[in-house]
Amino acid sequence: MESLSDTLWDVVISGTGLQQSLLALAISRSDKKILHIDPNEFYGGAEAAFSLQDAESWVARVSAASGGLFKSASIQTPEGTTGLTSSRAYSLALAPKLIHARSALLSQLVSSRAYRQVEFLAVGSFYIFKPSQDSPQQATLARIPSTREEVFLTTAVSTKGKRLLMKFLKFVLDYESPSQLEIWQSHADAPLTDLLQQEFKMDAELQTYIVTLTLSLDGKTSTRDGLAVIRRHLSSMGVYGPGFAIIYPKWGGLSEIAQVSCRAGAVGGTVYMLGTDIKEMETAENEIKLQLTSGDTVKTRMLVRADDSPSDGTGISRLVAVISSPLNSLFQAVVEGAPRPAVAVIAFPAGSLSTAAGKASQCPVYLSAHSSETGECPVGQSVLYLTTLSTPDAKEVLQQALDAFVGVTSDGHPTSQVLYQLQYEQLVGADTFGVEGPVFTLPGLSSSLSFSDSALEPVHEAWRKVMGDAAVDEEYLIFTDREGAMDDDDVYE
């Protein structure tokens, strides 16, 4: 085998985030020579999942770095708490995303045969946190009905409200038809709440139910975007089984898909090097010379990398907590024959929380509760991922949301303890695919809570660039079975 320096690589891919890993997989069954490197000692990039020890090392690196997509990272282990087990018993996702069953990502995992190495779990109910004006101990969680059956069965909505919800659900499923366009087109760029109030006569509570399903971090999603998201949610219901529309990859979310893609890519011939960054780059007419931190000098026809510089957009604040409760009441199947869900989503609407100074929360807070079935924590514990838009009060608001959630799920008995907290800010990356000659730059990390298929478009475009005249769109990520290719569990580094 030729050495790294003696080989003229067709493409060098830097970073093992989801997009780069899918790209390497897409190219891997061609005759291209692919070198896939990552400056980190782990797979997944900004979408990685960490053990407790790895999270501590990551926080130290973020604190020492002067740039990048993450900042203000810290770990807190409350005094007097016990219950944390070995570091490797945890797999905490940096950027967990929910995946709708109708996502093109799932179709590509199936067509590439990579899906066989990923275990997906059902995301169950969506809840709204309802504070009590009389006492914090009387706060409640109300389940959002998002199917006909749930609307009929819920006791949290009045008879009139049920009729309005049924009317809206029927409308959304057919909202792009000519007969429905005239209802919403004049509201297309206005907030979705305007349509709900003016055309469907919904009160503020019903509007909150609907807007929560969009997973909008500012609560101000437009009618055009909001209808598309809710339509995807409703059309995803029942695709992979009754009672759920969204799935989540076991063992750390998108990080697991990235690792599976890398393993399959390695079987297809891609060479992997972790802990290796680009130190210097020199571009000639027909090739790029890269000086790597490993000491190797490699030549390549093309370079693909990710944009890890923040854009001017607003970032988000995250809080990851491990608690000493299995939260069994949240992970119940609500439809007969449905699998037991491993994830539940709780929304804290804007204004439902307040700071110590009495200032109401400006933006919604979303809490994604994960049971031990996700493989992210030991049995008997749960992992909570809390997210809100970055504001001066965001850190305090996230803490208030965590405390309120623990209180409302303890039935007045302080049996749940917060065992561990990881807090950080995630900056939004650039959202464009960059091309500078033979150097291609994939967009940075988005702030959305659900996976958007728009993230797959630059991967497809980069594949076209690398494949050149050999690119046939109808064959993109469509592979036939190859003996042993998907049964190889080796880690390629």
- Minimal CA–CA distance to 450: which of 15, 96, 27? 96
Q: What angle do CA 215, 219, 223 make, to 5 degrees?
A: 85
Is 138:132 a contact under the CB 8 Å cutoff? yes
- 282, containing H or E segment: strand 278-283
**Mean pLDDT, the chain, whole residue set:** 91
pLDDT band at 493 (very low <50, low <70, confident <90, very high): very low
- Minimal CA–CA distance to 454: which of 1, 16, 19? 19
Is 247:240 a contact under the CB 8 Å cutoff? yes
The string over 421-457, giving b where at least 16 C-beta atoms fall within 10 Å of a residue's C-beta and e elsewhere, is bbbbbbbbbbeebeeeebebbbbbbbbbbbbebebbe
**Range 78-100 average pLDDT:** 93
Residue 487: count other Cβ atoms within 10 Å of its Cβ: 9
Per-residue pLDDT tens digits for 417-440: 999 999 999 998 778 899 999 999
The residue to which tokens 């000692």 are assigned: 41
Q: Quick one: three-class SS letters along 47-62?
A: HCEECHHHHHHHHHHH
Is 117:263 a contact under the CB 8 Å cutoff? yes
The residue to which tokens 């809206």 are assigned: 168
Per-residue pLDDT tens digits for 149-168: 788 778 788 899 999 999 99
Residue 283 bridge partners (DSSP): 288
Structure tokens at 337: 């024959």
CA 331 vs. chain centroid, Å, equals: 20
Q: What pLDDT score was predicted for residue 308?
A: 81
**Range 216-227 average pLDDT:** 95
Domains of the chain from N-terminus onward: 8-48+252-310+430-475 (3.50.50.60), 147-236 (1.10.405.10)
Can you say whether the dihedral through the CA atoms of 59, 60, 64, 68 is positive or negative?
A: negative
Is 105:451 a contact under the CB 8 Å cutoff? yes
Query: Is the pLDDT at 137 greater than 90, yes or no?
Result: no
Which comes out higher in pLDDT, residue 213 or 68? 213
**Range 50-79 average pLDDT:** 93
pLDDT band at 8 (very low <50, low <70, confident <90, very high): very high
Q: What pLDDT score was predicted for residue 136?
A: 63
Per-residue pLDDT tens digits for 391-417: 999 999 999 999 999 999 975 556 689
- Minimal CA–CA distance to 129: which of 280, 296, 330, 320? 330
Per-residue pLDDT tens digits for 181-211: 999 999 999 999 999 999 999 999 999 999 9
Per-residue pLDDT tens digits for 363-394: 999 999 999 999 999 999 999 999 999 999 99
% of the chain residues with pLDDT over 90:
78
